Chain A
């Protein structure tokens, strides 16, 4: 049992800069939660407050129902993996891994057993006598993870552990972390700025911006039900296309989204949700994922500026009116000329569209004012 509850957590630095605003988060036992967001969004600061490396300015941190605000890092029963690995350079891999246990005055034979057991799991047994400088980035990262694992912590904290690795190794290590997570089955808090990492690793994702939590949800939720423009734009690769200058119309009790004079009728679910929210006609921004665009049909037009052939699919960078539109299209059975300079027609299914209020940026369907007010924004649940 290792739950982490964060209540109205705030970090205000001496220069009165607020890095984290009222974060509320309930991390369940054995849950893998990922904090994601751009640089300076407060994700690492939040993690460091949980670790005990930053003082908590306001709010409460509870680990297993025990208030830990004033508990020293070493007594929180947590382990942390750092971005720079933070391996003691003069110690061997074995000594690095054994260090925390040695400080706890664990019997030598127990330390030895534990270190070798973890080294076996991480496949680093043959490096145990080496110094960190004699290891590659990936091997160092394994040692850093191993050092955390030997402690059997209640909560495993990871601060951008893969960002120092090259793309190939990062993919490999990501897969290893997924396997590892299944094996050690404890609570994880993972910080990254890479949305792919967040989507692939997390049971739930916490998307942060400017010190505020923008949305908490499963990877599927934050992808399909983004509560605002920021989340919609941050999650997904390539990023969601946004069509400015759109309108939400209401005629005879039926809603329509209008993109440059072309009308789309939202599906039944969207109609009911908009109705339940009492949505009035207004100026909106329509979001469409690049993968959800159908090329070769429809009334919207775009001119291809760059065409990237990636094998099974192609990324088309186009201009449609004043909007830059990226389209991901499968190359199999492609019967449209997608060479540069060509003008193509495109459309999408209205059920795959996202409607954002132009003023607030909130999603007209998925934004939940109640959870947002409580500083734990999740997508809205509907009873139909």
Chain B
């Protein structure tokens, strides 16, 4: 019998050709096809339009018919007087959100996991999840009411009449605290699910070994959460430059622009309000490129410092 060529070998796994394997498991491949097609349609085909970042796009000339301008739009963005401020604001807002928002769901899940009464546990979880289901529009409306200088809850509690939304120094805190309030409960679901899978005999062994509740959390719960936390960190780092446009836009005032002027809002303003499609695409592309680089950097760091490698 003639030996098979390396190329032929490559196409076979476990003695089966690729076609045969697909034929044997066609139902699974058919299921896989749906998300793959949707991803191609909605994520990859639109990438064709990225080229307008390098052209002077005119709707009448079409994408390929528009004049090629190279990196002009990028140069314009980087030389814009507000560029540095926008990049700084975007990075700081994301970084602070990550810094404060990332550990809170973990801490919450550790606390909820210690609750011993199932009914009470369910109530606590529901109360914590609820804000996640409120739309950003409504959340921002609530924030405005709470922070209102005339009769707002916060001012009433503090006994002041400060218009927090006009204080540029307060914007980041408002953005981050409200973000934690809205999403920390939801964010802890995945950690609670992870903790539910921890072998209960580990806790019992630790009890017999003499570990206190805190020591059990440190030595069992946190190591169990670590892989999931790292995955979340990588995913968050991958969208570090993606500050939620809606919320910033809705909380922005002329007086807090010094800290609320971020790239996402700028892209919206330039693209939609001023119809500068090429320019806003270039800025958005820069944003995405930075995210992609961050994703790989954080993954590399995470995989070097732990056993986990996700990307």
Contact = CB atoms under 8 A, between A and B. Distances in A.
Q: Do A and B come from one complex?
A: yes
Interface string B194-227: 0000010110111111110001000110011010
A200 to B, nearest CB: 25
Interface string A57-99: 0000000000000001110001110111010111100000001
A80 B215 contact: no
Contacts of A83: 201
Contacts of A17: none
A332 interface: no
A82 B204 contact: yes
Interface in A183-200: none
A177 interface: no
B207 A73 contact: yes
Contacts of A72: 207
Given A99-B219, A103-B215, A86 B204 contact: yes
A214 B207 CA distance: 31
Nearest to A54: B204
A52 to B, nearest CB: 7
B143 to A, nearest CB: 40
Contacts, number: 56
Given A82-B201, A84-B199, A103-B215, A90 B208 contact: no
Contacts of B207: 52-53, 72-74
Contact of A88 (B204, B208, B220, B226): B220
Given A88-B220, A89-B223, A100 B209 contact: yes
**Secondary structure class of chain A's binding surface, majority of residues:** loop
Contact of B210 (A53, A86, A89, A104): A104
Given A86-B201, A88-B202, A73 B208 contact: yes
Contacts of A82: 201, 204-205
A118 interface: no
A131 to B, nearest CB: 9
Interface in A10-66: 51-53
Nearest to B306: A90
A208 to B, nearest CB: 21
A74 to B, nearest CB: 3
Contacts of A91: 219
B215 to A, nearest CB: 7
Contact of B204 (A53, A78, A99, A103): A53
B218 to A, nearest CB: 11
B208 A52 contact: yes
Nearest to A89: B223
Given A86-B202, A89-B223, A103 B210 contact: yes
Interface string A302-317: 0000000000000000
Nearest to A80: B208
Interface residues of A, number: 22
A372 to B, nearest CB: 33
Contacts of A90: 223, 226
B210 A80 contact: no
A103 B201 contact: no
Nearest to A95: B219
A78 B201 contact: no
B64 to A, nearest CB: 55
Interface string A100-116: 10011000000000000
Given A86-B199, A86-B202, A89-B223, A103 B208 contact: no
B229 to A, nearest CB: 13
Contact of A80 (B202, B205, B223, B224): B205
Contact of A103 (B202, B211, B223, B224): B211
A90 B201 CA distance: 15
Nearest to A83: B201
A158 to B, nearest CB: 12
A150 B61 CA distance: 80
A371 B304 CA distance: 65
A86 B205 contact: yes
Interface in A107-157: 147
A89 B199 CA distance: 10
A104 B206 CA distance: 12
A74 B219 contact: no
Contacts of A84: 199, 201
Contacts of A73: 207-208
**Most-contacted residue by chain A among B199, B201, B220 (CB, 10 A):** B201
A74 B223 contact: no
A83 B208 CA distance: 15
Contacts of B209: 74, 99-100, 103, 147
B203 to A, nearest CB: 9
A79 B208 contact: yes
B283 to A, nearest CB: 43
Nearest to B215: A103
Nearest to A82: B201
B254 to A, nearest CB: 51
**Most-contacted residue by chain B among A53, A79, A86 (CB, 10 A):** A86
B90 to A, nearest CB: 36
A73 B216 CA distance: 14
A86 B205 CA distance: 6
Contacts of A103: 209-211, 215
A73 B205 CA distance: 10
A54 B252 CA distance: 57
B309 to A, nearest CB: 16
**Most-contacted residue by chain A among B208, B215, B223 (CB, 10 A):** B208
Contacts of B201: 82-84, 86
Interface in B219-254: 219-220, 223-224, 226
Contacts of A99: 206, 209, 211, 219
Interface of B: 199, 201-202, 204-211, 215, 219-220, 223-224, 226
Given A52-B207, A73-B207, 14 more contacts: A51-B204, A51-B208, A53-B207, A53-B208, A72-B207, A73-B208, A74-B209, A83-B201, A88-B206, A89-B223, A99-B206, A100-B210, A103-B209, A103-B210
11 contacts: A51-B208, A82-B205, A84-B199, A86-B199, A86-B201, A88-B219, A88-B223, A91-B219, A100-B209, A103-B211, A147-B209
6 smallest A-B Cβ distances: which pairs?
A74-B210, A86-B205, A90-B223, A100-B209, A86-B201, A82-B201
